[in-house]
Structure 1
């Protein structure tokens, strides 16, 4: 699925001249044109399955190189897409015929231990950042995998294993360095360009290329976390959601109801069967961990015992392992919010997972509340603070055509699980079309974002995202 463009018609852009691009950049970035060695590698997304072919890919070495690339694209009438360093599962970091600005050359991090802040390059991954900060007993909340790019997860919101205790990633964002659509470099924070700073916290990549982020760091010593795998029953699925919702805010739980993959740590008799995988992180006092985890263990015992119990004490960064599976597969999915999940809804969910033959099908449930809900809806561009659960329904297939065949199933199940809750989470959206954008940014949030877009990107140069049109 391709990102939507602005509502005004656009003619096809002129063919990009790699020679002119190299001359304009003057050594400020590596350039990969379609005929160059390295182009195929540069355009590949780690999880496979997305076959976008940019007109060229540039990998700047610094902010000045990014600014030159943006100015070149603007003057040439070439669309821009931005890859922020991670796995870009749904392919919005690349676009056919675009000039892709790949930020993986901007991977530095500067930790101010005494000041509890860090400046991080726009191409660094959550795993690399968390390892560097964790060496000082510090952390910023990101997601649940190390391979995600800090830029992408931050701009969309950031809901991960520290969400209930420390908030979303955007709640730790203190400032940013941004290259706007005209190639200007801005320092942005609560006092400088505060409207843009508000928009960056959840409004996606609509407003410029963020080359550096300034984050607050919190003290995080060892945590208790890891994966528990349980038999999937209506009682176990609904019970885990209820336990996570009732838990102290120091416990965050991400549930994946899924067909068990053929991994060595999973007993062979469970391969291909529907299970519930609970990814947990207790970030409070270690002597309170057992009591906090007792309700989870009770659910496991009632289901017949855990299939796998991988909970352990260790550094937070160690929980951010891996990423999407490698290989040529394509995912189709729908994100939703819901007020909860009772046993009848869980029974329906399990029946639906058994009803299709996708090579991988799953429903992810991220239980929110805690510090996420402490922030007002209008304080940032993420406007769903009161939602109890963030969900995502997905099916994986070997080809795009095969995956598309599961779209009706995915949409129907997501609609059933969402109930009366509205909205979508921008970071889980597969497209940037108008309906998705309006659901991600409802009401006055949309109006405010559109006004910021009009100020900083009136021509909608940055549209390879969940796209907000200039208001």
Structure 2
């Protein structure tokens, strides 16, 4: 595949080299093939240049260069974007992966994280002070993409979404301006990045509100794939304190030492528990888990909070092939549970999974127009993902997830979680934001009228 490199303005490129402290990697350079890789191996793009920024000055220079050259600009944090928006052909990749500083203010209960941080970075820094904030369930996920899309995790019911815990952001806009945003200063941009995705600029720094979370009771409990188990899980969430984070998993039994070998590769459902309540109630939580159905494997114990976010890391390393769909629902209707059982029984691989996030509790105490994330009246967010070891197998299994998605539609909201959307879900962008879409469009028009930041689930100006 040819690239745009030969078409780059030599003077502008040399000016960029002089302006950045980080590295610029081009086709033909020894590290180019490694530098262009992203988490989802479905996306094998060849950028014209990759800028590995080390500070906000590098970001400003790169944004200016892409705008002046009229080149596609892909912004990469943790590189977990399933649609592959962290890379592009014949354009500029702005890689924030070297901007990974964190600073905790324990007295104010806040943490500031650079735009290239992963949740492992944030969890490590905050845990030293017995504090945490809502993050993802895979530690290598970048804070930027997850937070600007909304941000779900184990602490969602107790602490709200990641974007609900933002108190400040630094944003580089399309004209190269550096803006610090709070609810009082540049408030419209602050509102938009809390759920509106990467449409409005490059966030180089996130400041989060922290909560007292240190050790938790956590880990997986597995059951046979059975609708009655899922219905009891539905009751568990409805009846439990918000300190109980409990994700539902539907898939095939992984080869774990506490799961008997006869269950490896067989259809199962599981609950990944994260109890942040009092330790003297641990046994009550275990009893509730035992009451969901026949337990075929369990590893639930006291652990540091950061550990719960690493449980999936080895199962889904970088370099696998992914395709995703996502839905929201009010409750878990019986028809949806039937679809989980039917399609979960034909899950295509151990790495593939259906993951159901409860998003009630603290999420419901934020109004639908207080942030760009508008679905404050739903209770669950479902991620459907065939994950395979070859491109060919993933292409074949797209039909599986599309049938599954179609079966869930009668029981789902019109829109879904933007971070569970793949590249062919652009037609859902308006419904994903509902009544907030027009306001987002107006803010996009103000800060990015030329749609420089278009490699995302795009809100066109």
Same fold per superposition (TM over 0.5): yes
Cα shift at 1:376: 0.4
Return the alpha-carbon distance in structure 2 between the equivalents of residues 263 and 45 of structure 1: 27
Provide the residue aligned with 1:15 in structure 2: 7
- The match for 1:319 among 308, 319, 344 is 308
1:57 aligns with 2:55: no
1:160-218 deviation digits (Å, cap 9, x = unpaired): 00000111111110011111001111111111110000001000000000001111111
Q: Which runs of 5+ in 2 are unaligned?
A: none
| Partner SS for 1:186 | strand
Structure 1 residues 18 and 149, CA gap change in structure 2 (3 angstroms)? farther
The structural deviation recorded for 1:350 is 2.0
Contact 1:18 1:56 in 2 (8 A): no
Q: Helix, strand or coil: the match of 2:232?
A: helix
Task: Give the direction of change, closer, same or farther, for the CA distance of 1:352–1:447 in structure 2 (3 Å limit).
Answer: same
Instruction: Give the match for residue 37 of structure 2.
Output: 44
Q: CA RMSD in A?
A: 2.2
- Displacement after TM superposition at 1:281 (Å): 0.7
What is the DSSP-based 3-state SS (H/G/I as helix, E as strand, rest coil) of the residue aligned with 1:441?
helix
Within the candidate set 136, 139, 148, 2:132 is matched to 139
Deviates more, 1:194-203 or 1:91-100: 91-100
Measured in 1, the distance between the counterparts of 2:218 and 2:257 equals 20
CA distance in 2 between counterparts of 1:159 and 1:184 reads 30
Query: How far has the Cα of 1:227 moved from its partner?
Result: 1.4
Counterpart residue number, 1:130: 123
2:175 maps to what in 1? 182
Assess, with a 3 A threshold, how the Cα gap between structure 1 residues 15 and 439 changes in structure 2: closer, same or farther: farther
Q: Does 1:226 align with 2:215?
A: no
| Cα deviation, residue 401, structure 1 | 4.3
CA distance in structure 1 between the aligned counterparts of 2:422 and 2:336, rounded to whole angstroms:
24
Change in CA separation of 1:327 and 1:79 when aligned onto 2, cut-off 3 Å: closer
- Show structure 1 runs of 5+ residues with no match: 1-11
Please list, as runs of the form range in 1=range in 2, the aligned pairs for 1:282-361 lying within 5 A after superposition: 282-299=275-292, 302-303=293-294, 306-321=295-310, 322-323=312-313, 325-326=316-317, 328-343=319-334, 345-355=336-346, 357=348, 360-361=351-352
Q: Which of 27, 30, 43 is equivalent to 1:34?
A: 27
CA contact (8 A) 1:221 1:315 kept: yes
Shift of residue 361 of structure 1? Answer: 4.1
Query: What is aligned with 1:385?
Result: 376
Task: Note if contact 2:347-2:353 (Cα within 8 Å) is conserved in structure 1.
Answer: no
How far apart in 1 are the matches of 2:378 and 2:451? Answer: 30
TM-score, structure 2 as length reference: 0.93
Segments of 4+ moved more than 6 angstroms: none
Asked whether the equivalents of residues 49 and 327 of structure 1 are also in contact (C-alpha less than 8 Å), the reply is: no
Query: How many angstroms apart in 2 are the aligned matches of 1:344 and 1:107?
Result: 44
Q: How many residues align?
A: 454
Aligned residues of 2:251 and 2:347 also touching (Cα < 8 A): no
Q: 1:455 to 1:417 in 2, by over 3 A?
A: same
* Residues 325 and 384 in structure 2, CA contact (< 8 A), matched pair in contact too: yes
- Give the aligned partner of residue 8 of structure 1: none
